[in-house]
Structure 1
Amino acid sequence: MPHVFPEWVAELTDPRRARTLEELADRLVPLAEQAVDVSRRLQEQLADLNAPFETDALRALVDGLQRRAEGAFTEVNAEIEGTARTRMDRLLASERPEGRDALRAELIEALTGQQRVVAERLSACTGTAVQNAAKVLLDRTAELARSVAGLVQQVLPAAQEGLALAGRVSGLTGRVRAQGRGGVPRWIMTEAAELAGVADETLARLELEWSMTGARAAAARTALRAAEEAAVSEVTAALAREVADLAPEHIRVLGDLEHRVLTRIATESSGDLPESVR
């Protein structure tokens, strides 16, 4: 059931029900204000639609992808370093106190070399993944920007139509006030009634256009956000694959190092340190 205002609303606002020139002029003014308001809101929505596709915004989008990729690299690399550090601490706990400093230095040197290899591989993987993801992201953004540009061109005349309507209403308001006071001449009432009808239809259509444009703007922002998240997911997936490829060799290196150290500790404890494990 459509909403209906009380009868007195139309009685006090509809120019077609005005009895004097003063009443007519006073009722025409809000029509012009409404037309200006909906035009302004439409223009703001169009500006909001365009904003994510400006040069600075696109640069910020790629920079954001880079920052999040760096964060993912740092997190993964730190986790791998933590695993190696845990092994080192376990090995140090097995050594006699007087030999721990020397063993610590040896372990740090060996683990640092291995970690450097891992970090270089992960860094190269991250860089390549970011480049690929950024290209896809910018391609999708460009495609979306073309669609948005078409929407802007479609809606822009509506905003201009609202301003044109406001100009017509303001012009009539000026002529009405120039007539002075008293009853409304028939020719003025005819023009006012015709313009009020046009205003009713135009304002309703522009309000609908504003609502639809708002929904499309929200959909465009959602799509842009989804493209950004897809780019980040592409980078993190590439990192995960690289870690999976690195894992067997990394575990083998750590295992060999642990075996050497444990063999050395066991041999030192027996007082016979073979040259091969020194």
Structure 2
Amino acid sequence: MWIDFISCLDNIWDISDYADEMQDIWDRAFPNITHIVSKKNDPVYKLLMQCAYDYRSDFGERAELVVCKFLERNKWDPDAIRVAVAFLVPEQTKLVDAAGHITWVNPNIYPYMWKVVEGDTQGTEDCQGAFEDACILDVFALYLENVHNLPKEFRRQSMPKGALAIATAAVERAWKMWSMGTYVKPKRATQSQFAEGLWNDRTSLVMESLNKASRRKWKKIFKGAKAFIDAHRKRPSRRAQAQRNSMGTNGRAACIKDDSGTDSGSDILLMV
């Protein structure tokens, strides 16, 4: 429930002031266990904050994996990768007037955010399928994996804008790591981490677009992302599957036998 809650926030990076919501989640999840959630010296609060940190980090890691696999499938050489990244994640353009004043102009389109981007000889671009790019949908599927087993009565009715916004920002970050044609991750921890300091502003800009998204758009996004649920979960090898399906009882699954004697073990105590 906590992951579902923060995924629906407008700012998934700033979650420190939601102790009341944590309390509500605790009361619903454990109605028979009394506990007061507090920001000070409370293990439940600390645990949920750590879960949120890990969840956000997982988006960054998944995006790196998704982009890497995309490039492996397409088998682009470094020059092709460099050109592709420059197109998908364009930089600001510097304009200098006659007086020497510098103005930075933002790109009006970030192609990586769209399913299809087509251009003509006049430079006009036609974009279709906002937030339906396969890489973004694949990373967003991380949210669906986390809430997949959450009972419907505990699901939030709000759209998971925070999750999709951070998934989009994570994909942009992953593409930028290939801007030189090969994978280069910044050596400084402050620059290499997928963290609020570097990515909060860009996530907020993405959120401005998501605030305009219709229910119909969200339906398309959910439908597209479902195809990527568990896409990166490790699966057993063919040999392991064959061993699993082999004949006879496997000794690893039969390593138990009733002990003889009259002691039932009913008075067992944990050894500490």
What TM-score results when the alignment is normalised by the length of structure 1?
0.22
The higher relative CO (CA closer than 8 Å, separation ≥ 6) is in 1
Q: Computing the radius of gyration over CA atoms, which structure comes out larger, 1 or 2?
A: 1
What TM-score results when the alignment is normalised by the length of structure 2?
0.22
